[in-house]
A and B are shown apart, each in its own frame.
Chain A
Amino acid sequence: MSIVFAILFYLATLLFVVGLAHRIRIYIGTPAPLKIPTTPAPISTGGVVLRMTREVVFFESLFKANLWTWGLGWLFHASLALVTLRHLRYFTEPVWGWVAFIQPFGIYAGITMLLGLCGLWGRRLFVERIRYISTPSDHLMLLLLIAIAVSGLLMQFVVHTDVVAVKGFFRGLMHFSVQPLPTDALLLLHLLLVVALLAIFPISKLLHAPGVFFSPTRNQKDDPREKRHISSWAKQMESES
């Protein structure tokens, strides 16, 4: 079983890294021929960094758009960030101080993450226009995350697993040696779901995570009068005419 999971994790990580790098390469390689920042847009690079930070950390635009979606979405993402950071303790030895510090918060974040997810799913199910735009994969994605959260929380609060062994397994993976993994069903399910999440990341809407950084309406400086902005393919057009 340990071998199977070791292979699964290597494969999933490979898919995740290679897939994501491939997408990002496409984004970088595609020119943005016109200046299209949505105004009011920052005039300086510092301003763009600030705008992007507000978008990524606080979901500024979503806040303007819809308070419910913002609240639930932000709760989910912030919790997810905490939970993920908390899991660093399974990969580091000795555990970094700040990781140890956030442990208790990370545990409760698991609960708030679940709440956020259920709220988002509720919206998808019960708000007419959101239901209209949802595809099966939108529902499945939420279900997958909910299942990950539930299985994780169950291990935390109900059926404990041997976390020392789990840590041993992952530390082993990092050094390319397969250590025994506890075989309780809940843990295996939890890990399986995480593998699935990693694998589908680069081919799903989870691409919004890298995508936001490449969105020209958000990452461009508003200076078209001061600086000529021209893409290579457009420049070529010019010398032809």
Chain B
Amino acid sequence: MADVTAPPFRVIPIVPALKPGSMEGKGPYLANEKMQEALGYPGKLVDDWHDKAIAKMGELLGKFRSLQVYMDACVHCGACSDKCHYFIGTQDPKNMPVARQDLMRSVYRRYFTFAGKYFPKLVGARDLTREVLDEWYNYYHQCSECRRCSVFCPYGIDTAEITMAAREILATVGMGQKYSNEIIAKVHKIGNNLGLPEPALRDTLEGLEEDVKDDTGIDVRFPLDVKGAEVLLITPSADFFAEPHIDSLIGYAKVFHASGTSWTLSSMASEGANFGMFIGSYEQLRQVALRIRQAALELGVKRIVVGECGHAWRVAYSFWNTLSGVGSGADETDRFAQMLQKQLDHRYRQPTHICEFTLDLVERNAITLDREANDKHIITFHDSCNVARGSRMGDFAGGQFEIPRNLIKAAAHNFVEMDPNTTRERTYCCGGGGGLLTDDLMDLRVKGALPRMEALKQVVDDEQVNFLALICAICKTQFSKVAPAYGFDRKMVGGIHQLVSNAIRLGDK
């Protein structure tokens, strides 16, 4: 693997000059045979990979309108070309979103269009060779599926959709990615990304109860598998033990405690993350999501609340209803969705984001936050891409921007915005999303963080910001790891519910 180098901050953030080939390479580790087979893919590159890949591509073109339209509609206007954090950080022209799409589009043209069949040179069509396949593997693992490019494209072309399709094709011919596949396999087997079995989970939660008791003198519970609880909390498993994630978990528990809400975690579905999305597999996405329906049915809960995780919230908000019926408004004849929807309480949004949940309690005065408790923090907020660009909160367009901010302001006095070109729907990815949060991609992760680090630097220098508030487990891990490469203290990274946890007044309910 190449050395890890953080690019210098740019004085004026202009579009960088191209450095062709700077991120050429082999890409992340390939999934080993066992991992691949556990997910139903061939163990290694199959002999007839060429025909299989083209056939898979044809299948996906017929199943996903997004892919079909996006393969045709690009005019090479270049509006997206300078919008990707990986391009800005690496200067590799193949990391321009349009160029990343063209890696697949050139093959699409060759095999699926008239112009590409008869005039390949003219329209930039290429045969699918082994080199092209390797190039796909490398560069489609330099996209975090953050969708920033799709905000700016005049046709809404979403490179994430193309990346997902490419990864699915690669996996189908035997080139899966180790990190993502390993995690999905663990979810199937044990119920969470970290492979934390039920007894270990129970242990961890008991330990947390003791910690909070020591800290506050109050018995805050962390219930597991409690039948008949009102709320089922689904949160990324990093919340159970990683720093700073765990502080947010404590925050959620305190919110439930202070508001007197009965709640539970589920050992069977102890994971909010759904890496099926990262590898572009509808089937995997669905299987992972179905665990949650099953847990909700078995525990008999009325509400499902999702913790701080970006892509988990995207999957929950946008896809759960589709994949497993967690939501409202299924047809009367929709037997599978009805099973669950009859049980859920539709006076509430299903599923609910923890920020929606908490802010609602604050606004109804059902809990009290002492903002002074956070006075040592000068806080800025990083919009996580999957929340900002893939989902919503509340009942109004853009609620996903306002609700987290309002919650921060309810929990603390000092809040500062970063450069508006880098927030809300224009937010920059942390650099570790989309299944790239693995050590073998550390160089890419550091480089991809550049635009966010530049915006952070500005508010640190000008406004003395010392706390970067997040609502995504991947952002938390990624920034803790890469911020030091840019001269920041990793301790400045934390969750919104960590702030809530500091500020909340625990009654004796």
Contacts and interface: CB of A to CB of B under 8 A. Distances in A.
Contacts, number: 227
Contacts of B79: 61-62, 65-66, 69
A11 interface: no
Interface in B16-53: 17-18
Nearest to B349: A225
B122 A208 contact: no
A212 interface: yes
Contacts of B349: 225
A26 B80 CA distance: 26
Interface residues of B, number: 81
A208 B74 contact: yes
A138 interface: yes
Given A34-B322, A233-B63, A215 B157 contact: yes
Contacts of B153: 61, 65
A123 B328 CA distance: 49
B156 A133 contact: no
Contacts of A212: 73, 154-156
A224 B321 contact: yes
Given A36-B390, A39-B389, A62-B77, A135 B124 contact: yes
A43 B396 contact: yes
A91 B33 CA distance: 66
Contact of A136 (B73, B121, B319, B398): B121
B122 A128 contact: no
A32 B64 contact: yes
Interface stretch (B91-99, B186-194, B218-226): B91-99
Nearest to A230: B322
B60 to A, nearest CB: 10
Contact of A224 (B62, B115, B318, B395): B318
Given A237-B283, A238-B336, A64 B158 contact: no
Tell me the interface secondary structure of chain A in the complex: helix
B322 A224 contact: yes
B83 interface: yes
Nearest to B82: A129
B322 A216 contact: no
For chain A, give the interface size range. 35 or more
Given A39-B425, A140-B122, A133 B68 contact: no
A47 B397 CA distance: 10
Interface in A1-51: 23, 26-27, 30-36, 38-43, 47
A69 B490 CA distance: 40
Interface string B147-172: 10011111111100100000000000
A52 to B, nearest CB: 10
A176 interface: no
A31 B66 CA distance: 9
A215 B155 contact: yes
B235 to A, nearest CB: 19
A212 B22 CA distance: 33
Contacts of B328: 225-228
B69 A215 contact: yes
A137 B61 CA distance: 23
A106 to B, nearest CB: 24
Nearest to B125: A135
Interface string B89-127: 000010010110010000000000111000001111000
Interface of A: 23, 26-27, 30-36, 38-43, 47, 55, 59, 61-62, 64-66, 69, 73, 123, 127-130, 132-138, 140, 200, 203-205, 207-208, 211-212, 214-218, 222, 224-231, 233-234, 237-239
25 contacts: A26-B68, A27-B68, A32-B64, A32-B65, A32-B66, A35-B322, A39-B392, A40-B392, A43-B396, A61-B152, A62-B154, A64-B152, A128-B18, A129-B81, A132-B93, A132-B96, A214-B69, A216-B65, A218-B155, A218-B156, A225-B351, A228-B327, A228-B328, A229-B321, A233-B63
Given A135-B124, A225-B328, 16 more contacts: A30-B65, A31-B65, A34-B282, A35-B322, A38-B150, A40-B425, A43-B395, A61-B154, A127-B78, A129-B18, A200-B115, A208-B74, A212-B154, A216-B69, A227-B328, A228-B329
